[in-house]
Amino acid sequence: MLLPSIDSLGDLNGKSVLVRVDFNCPVESVAGELRVTDDFRIRAAIPLFEELKARGASVTACTHFGRPKGRPDSQFDVAPIRRHLDSLVENVRLLENLRFHPGEESNDPEFGADLIRGFDAYVNEAFGASHREHASIMFPPTVVPSAAGPNLQREVETLLATLSHPQRPFVAVVGGAKVADKLGITKVLADRADSVIIGGGMAFTFWKALGWPIGDSLVDDARVSEVREILASGHVVLPTDVWCLPTGSPFGSGGDTEPVLRSRSVGVGEMGLDVGPESIEAFRRVLESAGTVLWNGPMGVFEDRRFEHGTRSIAETLAEIGATTIVGGGDSAAAVEKFGVASSMNFISTGGGASLELLEYGDLPGLRALRGES
């Protein structure tokens, strides 16, 4: 896909450039101070900032952070992110959280005009926000010379090339909990990939479609018929055993109850929270012969040590095999970090939702805006 690069902005000496980034990073209180605990997205933008400064531009960045509902909210102040940015690069200003203004999410042109006023050029380096028709993504390209940042460019090229020219066998791994959000892409992948491994909370809507009992596991009842169509592709690989807890037992940040293993059936009053050893073995066999693997979404509630095995196994298998490995952002990116294999992946997207939408539709609103098509 042809997107304008920063070279197309011409001479930037003495110019003022606004860069839309996605610094929506996890922030936690450490020793009484709020600190960024994963700076992957911030580090990824530094080469662009350095390049713009080397070309003589003064650089201002802007980002959203959390969901502050269109008004200032100290909980979502970007101060910790700004401190972290200052520790990595000099002379890059970071504006206040874009979502402190209601006009950001409502794509209000007046807010867009206020935002870009005084700037000579705009760069979108926020792949993870480019599926949103928000003012900071959509408006600036309508009024000033605008370009795609190198990371955004690389994300788009890598993801589209993976889908159109994968080395075969092409294996997709789809997990997580947002069944409704992920069925569209699962359908596309079931058509294009040789195998689609399904895990996590996603799996139980598939089990239900097969008539396997799911107890109180996560399910999207409205999607069962859609899932039947996906199953008809013949490419879906489902878990056959799952680790379960009695419904109501605490999980997520740990708990005392020992999980029980169930095969092809979750009992009444139980919920499935991770794939079991037989499934892990079957997934591993499919992955071992893969030429390309695209992974989005954990295989279980991997935040809880009792339910991390399925996700850990996918991460470790991807690190061992010779395939081209593409990790589609969000929780899968967090998982490869957590299990120490991030550096063995060929590509980790910075955008969960955006990578899914790009793969599903082949384009994003923010990319259309950069091409002058919005």
The catalytic site residues sit at 41, 178, 330, 353
Peptide bond into 365 cis (omega under 30): no
**Burial of 165 from C-beta contacts in 10 A (0-12 / 13-18 / 19+):** exposed
Q: Which is nearer to ligand AMP, 201 or 366 (CB)?
A: 201
Q: Which is nearer to ligand AMP, 55 or 347 (CB)?
A: 347
Query: In the complex, what is the shortest distance from the CB of residue 374 to ligand AMP, in angstroms, rounded to a whole number?
Result: 27
Contacts of 83 (CB under 8 A, 6+ apart): none
Residue identified by tokens 């120490």 is 340
Q: Which is nearer to ligand AMP, 81 or 218 (CB)?
A: 218
CB-nearest residue to ligand AMP? 176
Q: Which residues bind ligand AMP (CB under 6 A)?
A: 176-178, 200-201, 218, 272-273, 297-298, 300-301, 303, 330-331
> 314, 299 in Cβ contact below 8 A?
yes
Strands (E) in the chain, as ranges, are: 16-20, 27-30, 33-36, 58-62, 92-94, 121-124, 146-148, 170-174, 195-198, 236-237, 241-246, 260-263, 270-275, 292-296, 324-327, 347-348
Query: In the complex, what is the shortest distance from the CB of residue 48 to ligand AMP, in angstroms, rounded to a whole number?
Result: 27
Q: Which is nearer to ligand AMP, 218 or 321 (CB)?
A: 218
Query: In the complex, what is the shortest distance from the CB of residue 155 to ligand AMP, in angstroms, rounded to a whole number?
Result: 18
Q: Which is nearer to ligand AMP, 44 or 275 (CB)?
A: 275
Q: Record the tokens describing residue 123, joined without a space.
A: 């760069």
Parallel/antiparallel/unpaired status of strands 146-148 and 121-124? parallel
Query: In the complex, what is the shortest distance from the CB of residue 274 to ligand AMP, in angstroms, rounded to a whole number?
Result: 7
Query: In the complex, what is the shortest distance from the CB of residue 295 to ligand AMP, in angstroms, rounded to a whole number?
Result: 11
Which residues pair with residue 124 across a beta bridge? Answer: 20, 148
Q: What is d(CA 159, CA 359) in angstroms, rounded to the nearest whole number?
A: 7
Query: In the complex, what is the shortest distance from the CB of residue 251 to ligand AMP, in angstroms, rounded to a whole number?
Result: 9
Contacts of 2 (CB under 8 A, 6+ apart): 371
Q: Record the tokens describing residue 28, joined without a space.
A: 């936690």
Tell me how far the alpha carbon of residue 175 is from its chain's centroid.
Answer: 12
Q: Which is nearer to ligand AMP, 119 or 339 (CB)?
A: 339
Q: Record the tokens describing residue 186, joined without a space.
A: 């699962």
